[in-house]
Amino acid sequence: MQRTLAGLLALLILTTSAFITTAQEDDEKVALLDSSIHFEEPIPIFFQVTCMKTACPGLALEIVVEGETHNSDDPHVVSLSFLANGNVTYLLTVNQGTDETDLSFESTVFGDSEWSIVEDGDALDNIPSPGISVEQAPLDATWPCSVSECESNALPLSANGFNFIGSLDNSSDKDSIELTGQSGDVIVLNHILLPSELEIEFWLRTDDQLSLMNNVNPDSLGRFYIEYPEGGELWLRLKQDSSSGFAAYQIHLIRYASMSETPTSLNEKCHGELPNPWAWEYTFDNDADAWSCNPLNFPESESEIFTGWITEGDSEGDALRFDAAPRMSIEINCTSEFNTVEFNVFIFQTDNTPLNVGNSTIENSGCPESILTPEGTTSIEIRMMTEHLDKWSIQMHEWPLGDAGGIGDAPDSMWEWGGEVSRVIMFDDTIYASMVSGDFVDVFSFEVLEENGSRLHLERDSSEPVHYQILVLDQITGMIVNTSEGMQIDAPFGTHALRVERIGNQGEIPYSFTLVNDGESSSPVQPVFIDQSSLFKNYYIFVGVFLLSPIAIVIFWNRRNLMGGASDIQFEQHERRRLSRLRERITEMLEPKTADKGVIESALHQLGDSPWTAVIEDWGEPIIRHNTVQVEICVWKVKQDAATMLIGVKVANSAWDMAAMRVHAPEGARVSISDVSPKHMFHDEEVFLDSLKAGSRTFLLLTLEGNPTSIGFQLSGLVDGEPLAAVPNRAINWS
């Protein structure tokens, strides 16, 4: 039992040096456990170690409590019962050749635990005779859950049950304990930990007799499953051999109350034991005690499990009904503890007529693996029957999930105006839905809450084979007054629709969309204009002449260009010589014998400081020139027989952030960058340029590897916060 072992490990801390020599003269003996713990209050403890091999020679257990030593040695099992108080020391030794993996540890649970009950005083030695009043309180181990919900503070109980810890002082001491319950309940004892000399009995106490229940036997794992007897009380009685001394024990038990099976949160008449079939509506002359439950919500995930018990005395069995919808693809898994439960699955439609869609037998004790609900489906009911005591479990979920987060398929047509609206969707949420084979239309509804209406548009994947229509409805008649195929449209206050229609017939089609609310609509106010231009006629003439007068100066400066003479925009001769020297220096530095990174980087920086037009004129026509509003890119091959090129980038009025340049080979062998000047981070075919300031001019020398037949370029980055890429429309012939 995991919790028992967890208690042991919480008590005994194993050090990293688990194997400790116990004596210098006996190096074959090792200590697997040597630890102590302090107990604030007395508590009975039973501690047992079992050898998992054929035998564990030298296996011995010594426990010291308040100076008193307890010993047990046996090659197969060692165990001790004691009343722990104050400092308690544990010592477990064994011959070499055995380690902790060869042993099984068991101990009663101890410490502060909400689900552990320690015997308060000494329990009754004998079960009281019929007719005698009993002052001893019964042990209540009631499971605090229905088939679908638990009390908010009951999770540890529902997950683990109760541990009752008690002790017998000597051979003449006995413990008799009444268990809370009533007819139809199931008592489960999952684990009983006690010394071999202890014996447990089950007794039935009625008003007129006291009898031993000889028909209660454990299963192969030592678990007891007991149907609470009708018309009487169930008692446990523990006794031991006449030669035995102090004995501690622990019983893990839980009571499944039949009257707590139904989830009471569904409605006020929902209570008690589950019926079969599920009773949704009763009309028995307004019987206040009539059982009536709304269907359960359909499970939201496949991890949700519904469980319950059927006893031999329950001839009706149990049933569960869940909300459902048309065209739901439902996967179901039904099991029972002892494989005796027979399951029947029914679909209910709008006329509340059951349609049996599955019937399992004892040989095939599961529900149908999957169900596709038909048109008109409102709920699904699973009925369980058995002639034996058995526990049933049901798991089911919808796959694929229903349209727009609901269950099943969205309606195929508009709802009746004034009635319940179609599946409601929310603005700005991504909606996921699908159409199975034979499903051609889905209709969703949405609500506009702004008093002046909202401006809407649709975001969707254009590759999906569906067609969208936003339908604006008249709020009095429900008639369609305006439509949009996803473009922006104004919708007034009220409820409107979105229609999705299949294109073609490709089987199942998943699709997704987002209905975006662009804000409140506003009616534009049409201004009234009065022509008063005549009042400003003289002013317009004066301003026109004044603003146009500088053109005379411009014409004078450019008179030679206008009359066919030489251009004033000419470069000085020294500038030409400087650019020519820079070109020669860059070309010369590419030779391995004269290569100097510092000289090359200096020359490239000087090119960046030179006029752009002058550089182009000096280096000649680029092999690629790409010019856009945001950037201009020029590429020159430095030497015909070298794999090095000069790239110039001129940035316009907006800076480029996170800029990077990619060189790729559309055809031929793969190309990669082997060197960059000035130094920049590069990898394979990409150079990372970081930020390019507005109006800046940047020059790079790239040395390439590979034998591509052609080379293309791409500059990418963020311009004004938006991603942008500049890609020349042709590649360089590199062969």
Instruction: Provide the pLDDT for residue 525.
Output: 64
Q: What is the pLDDT of residue 9?
A: 42
Partners of residue 203 on adjacent β-strands: 212, 235
Helix (H/G/I), strand (E/B), else coil: 353: coil
What is the per-residue pLDDT across 144-196, written as a single tens digit (0 to 9) for each? 888 776 654 544 443 467 889 999 999 899 999 999 999 999 999 988 999 98
Q: Is the pLDDT confidence value at 436 over 70?
A: yes
Q: Cβ–Cβ contacts within 10 Å for residue 383, how many?
A: 22
User: What pLDDT is stored for residue 8 in this prediction?
Assistant: 44
Q: Which pLDDT tens digit goes with each residue over 102-141?
A: 999 999 875 545 667 888 888 999 999 998 889 999 998 8
Residue 618 has pLDDT above 60, yes or no: yes
CA distances 638 to 340, 436, 588, 606, 681, Å, are 87, 62, 10, 17, 22
Q: 727 or 3: whose pLDDT is higher?
A: 727
**Any idea of the CA torsion for 269, 275, 279, 284, to the nearest 10 degrees?**
-70
**pLDDT greater than 90 at residue 236:** yes
Looking at the predicted structure, is the pLDDT value of residue 730 above 70? Answer: yes
Among residues 205, 238, 229, 230, the alpha carbon closest in space to that of 132 is found at 205
Kindly indicate the confidence band of residue 523, based on its pLDDT and cuts at 50, 70 and 90. Answer: low
**Span 646-669, mean pLDDT?**
86
Burial of 415 (0-12, 13-18, 19+ CB in 10 A): middle
**Band of residue 640 on the pLDDT scale cut at 50, 70, 90:** low
pLDDT at position 17 is 34
Average pLDDT of the chain is 83
Predicted pLDDT at 366: 60
Poorest-pLDDT segment among 51-55, 81-85, 283-287: 283-287
**Whole-number pLDDT of residue 447:** 94
- Contact (CB, 8 A) for 305 and 391: no
Mean pLDDT lowest among 399-403, 491-495, 602-606, 679-683: 602-606
Higher pLDDT, 627 or 594: 627
Percent of the chain scored above 70 by pLDDT?
Answer: 84
User: Model confidence over 368-379: pLDDT tens digits?
Assistant: 888 888 888 889
Please give the CATH architecture assigned to the domain spanning 116-252: Sandwich (2.60)
Give the pLDDT score at 573: 57
Query: Residue 387 above 60 pLDDT?
Result: yes
8 Å CB contact between 697 and 649: yes
**Any idea which of 199-208, 528-537, 637-646 has the lowest mean pLDDT?**
637-646
Structure token pair of residue 378: 């409102």
Calculate the dihedral angle through the C-alpha atoms of 567, 572, 575, 576, rounding to the nearest 10 degrees: 60
**So what's the pLDDT on residue 524?**
62
447 CB burial (10 A radius; 0-12, 13-18, 19+): middle
User: Sign of dihedral through CA atoms 650, 652, 657, 663?
Assistant: negative
Interval 18-29: pLDDT, tens: 334 443 344 578
Listing DSSP states for 410-468 in one string gives: PPSSPPPTTS--SEE--TTPEEEEEE-TT--EEEEEEEE--TT-EEEEEEE-TTSSEEE
Examine the pLDDT at 6 and tell me if it is beyond 60.
no
> How many CA atoms are closer than 13 Å to the CA of 290, on its beta-carbon side?
12
Mean pLDDT over 312-336 rounds to 90
User: Tell me, what's the pLDDT at 13?
Assistant: 37
Q: Which CATH architecture has domain 405-520?
A: Sandwich (2.60)
User: Mean pLDDT, to the nearest integer, of 568-573?
Assistant: 49
Mean pLDDT on 600-627: 81
Alpha carbon distance, N-terminus to C-terminus of the chain: 76
Each domain of the chain, given as residue ranges in start order, spans: 2-107, 116-252, 261-398, 405-520, 573-733
Residue 36 CB coordination number (10 Å): 14
The H-or-E segment that residue 545 falls in is: helix 537-548
Residue type, 317: G
- CB under 8 Å to 54, separation ≥6 — which residues? none
The pLDDT of residue 68:
92
Residue type, 623: I
Q: What is the pLDDT of residues 500-517, one digit of tens each?
A: 999 987 788 899 999 999
What is the mean predicted confidence (pLDDT) over 239-257? 90
pTM score of the predicted model: 0.62
Lowest mean pLDDT among 3-7, 151-155, 523-527, 568-572: 3-7
Q: Do domains 116-252 and 261-398 have the same CATH topology?
A: yes
Superfamily for the 573-733 domain: Gamma-adaptin ear (GAE) domain (2.60.40.1230)
pLDDT at residue 571, rounded to an integer:
47
Mean predicted confidence (pLDDT) in 256-276: 77
Cβ count within 10 A of residue 522: 10
Task: Using the predicted structure, report yes or no on whether residue 270 has a pLDDT greater than 80.
Answer: no
pLDDT in tens, 704-720: 888 787 888 888 999 88
Residue 594 pLDDT: 57
Q: Which residue, among 597, 582, 591, has the nearest Cα to 675 in the 3D structure?
A: 597
Q: Residue 8 and residue 31: Cα distance in Å, rounded?
A: 17
Q: Does residue 285 register a pLDDT over 60? A: no
Confidence at residue 119, expressed as pLDDT on a 0 to 100 scale:
87
Beta bridge partners of 105: 49
Domain 261-398, classified CATH 3.30.70.260, yes or no: no
Grade residue 682 by pLDDT with cuts at 50, 70 and 90.
confident
How high is the pLDDT of residue 126? 92
Question: Residue 681: pLDDT above 80?
Answer: yes
Segment 196-211 shows an average pLDDT of 92
What pLDDT was estimated at residue 22? 42
- CATH code of domain 2-107: 2.60.120
pLDDT given for residue 284 in this prediction: 39
Instruction: For residue 622, give every residue at least 6 positions away whose Cβ sits within 8 Å of its Cβ, in sequence order, or none.
Output: 616, 634, 635, 636, 648
Alpha helices in 558-653 (DSSP H): 559-562, 573-589, 597-609, 612-619
Query: Which pLDDT score, from 0 to 100, does residue 624 have?
Result: 85
- How many CB atoms neighbour CB 466 within 10 A? 21
What pLDDT is attached to residue 213? Answer: 92
